[in-house]
Amino acid sequence: MPPALPSFPFLTDHALHPSPQLTEARTGHAPVRVQPPYGAPAWLVTRYEDARFVLSSPLFGRDHERAGIPADRISRVTPLEVTSETFASQDPPDHTRLRRFVFRTFTPSRVEALRPSTRRIADRLVDDMIEQGPPLDLFERFGLALPVQVICDLLGVPRSDRALFTSWSDELLDSTGSTEQAAASVVEMNAYLAEQAAQRRRHPTDDLIGALVRARIEGDHLTDDEVKNLLRILLGAGHETTASQIPNFVFLLLSGDGYARLAAEPDLIGTAVEELLRYVPLLTQGSLTRFVLTDIEIGGVLLRAGDQVLVELAAANRDAAAFDDPESMDLARKDNPHIAFGHGLHRCVGAALARMEMQVALATLTSRLPGLRLAQPADQIQWHFDRFVRRPKELLVTW
């Protein structure tokens, strides 16, 4: 009887560093066989160049039907694939068509236009923090509140409905929940977004939902189903991961001299965010599953057509073959081609939004609260771990 495969993801007691098992796998160079909690075994890729290759090569697909893999056999770490039935689970040409609409409507200029309003939101949140006084939970009062308000402003979601998005996103991304709960959240969210799209067709608006509904490329347009699926991706990218990374970044900066340095050198905010993205794993479980479409060798291992691959972004971003002194955090690092948001066709469409929010968050906190510090010993902070994100359960701060 063959030995049992190692369980994946490799969780660690150290809050914001990759598991030693990932380092061991990367230094071994070759992909390793692992067993996620759901679906079939998969190959785990950990080296930087291998990761970029798998994420960008047409020899690896995202469409499980094209690869001949039943839905219940998809290797995954959550009860449901968070992006099932969306363009993130499609290959060209369907993926190419939908991505054109995203790039045409969710443009860098649209994101950059949100920066002033994002600053105002961040300033209001800090005003509220100062009014309440310390100690308080930075995750709840700032880290969670900022991205929820920004993504809802972008989409045009009424303020009265914003709590719905928080609960849906939490249930979809919480791998400890049941498949039934996740499925129910998908149904509720789909119904809501479909209705929002239908309203924009009747009464056009200038928000992102309205822009997606109105978009026309060579006479083609998006269906309401396509609009709602694109919006689900943006909601997922624009809420839970960003909300988790803001307190993660602040914790790490406050644990050393990084926070004081950014308060004194605000011009470093841009490069600091990129380094924090490289250094702090965005996800606990790597990338979305890829399906091998033809036999191919990686690192001396033959992957067969029909095999599945998970790319561990956190390990790739600590690869000494790609980064000088990768285990050290250098807030002024210039050459930083990290792949925290993925790579290739399926690179996160919300990357520009998340990057802008994180820049504004750190700039606002360090300028308004330069004396911010932890309100409890770092080793007493309790951490929330699931198979998608990691963050402090609460991050008590004072100033």
Digitized pLDDT (tens) for each residue of the chain, 399 residues in all: 566 888 888 877 666 888 888 888 898 888 999 999 889 999 999 999 999 999 999 999 999 988 999 988 999 887 766 555 566 777 888 788 878 877 777 788 888 999 999 999 999 999 999 999 999 999 999 998 899 889 888 888 888 887 787 777 666 555 455 557 767 777 888 888 888 888 888 999 988 888 888 887 667 888 878 887 788 777 766 676 788 899 999 999 999 999 999 999 999 999 999 999 999 987 766 778 999 999 999 999 999 999 999 999 999 999 999 999 999 999 999 999 999 999 988 888 888 889 999 999 999 999 999 999 999 999 899 988 765 678 899 999 999
The answer to whether 155 and 230 are in contact (CB under 8 A) is no
Q: Cα(159)–Cα(316) distance, rounded to whole angstroms?
A: 39
Of 269, 257, 278, 256, nearest to 324 by C-alpha is 278
**Structural domains in the chain (count):** 1
Q: What per-residue confidence (pLDDT) applies to 175?
A: 47
Token pair belonging to 70 = 């039943």
CA dihedral 22, 23, 29, 32 (to 10 degrees): -20
Asked if the bond preceding 9 is cis, omega within 30° of 0, the reply is yes
Q: DSSP 3-state assignment of 60?
A: strand
Of 397, 324, 335, 290, nearest to 53 by C-alpha is 290
Of 282, 285, 283, nearest to 273 by C-alpha is 282
Q: What per-residue confidence (pLDDT) applies to 74?
A: 93
Q: Cα(84)–Cα(266) distance, rounded to whole angstroms?
A: 40
Q: DSSP 3-state assignment of 392?
A: strand
Of 3, 27, 29, 30, nearest to 301 by C-alpha is 30
Q: Is residue 30 part of a domain?
A: yes
The answer to whether 352 and 298 are in contact (CB under 8 A) is no
The strand order across the sheet containing 396-398 reads 136-137, 396-398, 373-374
With 0.75 as the threshold, say if the pTM is over it.
yes
Of 242, 254, 224, nearest to 391 by C-alpha is 242
Q: Cα(210)–Cα(231) distance, rounded to whole angstroms?
A: 11
In this structure, are strands 308-311 and 290-292 parallel, antiparallel, or unpaired? antiparallel
Q: Is residue 3 part of a domain?
A: no
Q: Is residue 278 part of a domain?
A: yes
Of 368, 277, 367, nearest to 331 by C-alpha is 277
Q: Is residue 255 part of a domain?
A: yes
Q: What per-residue confidence (pLDDT) applies to 229?
A: 78
Q: DSSP 3-state assignment of 133?
A: coil
The boundaries of the domain holding residue 313 are 20-398
Q: What per-residue confidence (pLDDT) applies to 80?
A: 66
End-to-end Cα distance, the chain: 59
Q: Express the helix, strand and coil content of the chain in percent, nearest 5 each.
A: 50, 10, 40
Asked if the bond preceding 93 is cis, omega within 30° of 0, the reply is yes
Cβ-based neighbour number of residue 57 at 10 Å: 14
Q: Is residue 292 part of a domain?
A: yes
Q: Is residue 115 part of a domain?
A: yes
C-alpha separations of 187 from 30, 177, 190 in Å: 40, 16, 5
Q: DSSP 3-state assignment of 391?
A: strand
Of 37, 34, 35, 43, nearest to 80 by C-alpha is 37
Any idea what the CATH number is for the domain that residue 179 is in? Answer: 1.10.630.10
Q: What per-residue confidence (pLDDT) applies to 178?
A: 55
Q: Is residue 118 part of a domain?
A: yes
Q: DSSP 3-state assignment of 284?
A: coil
Helix locations, 174-322, DSSP H: 179-202, 208-214, 224-238, 240-254, 258-264, 269-279, 313-316
45 HSE (CA, 13 A, CB side): 28
Q: Is residue 1 part of a domain?
A: no
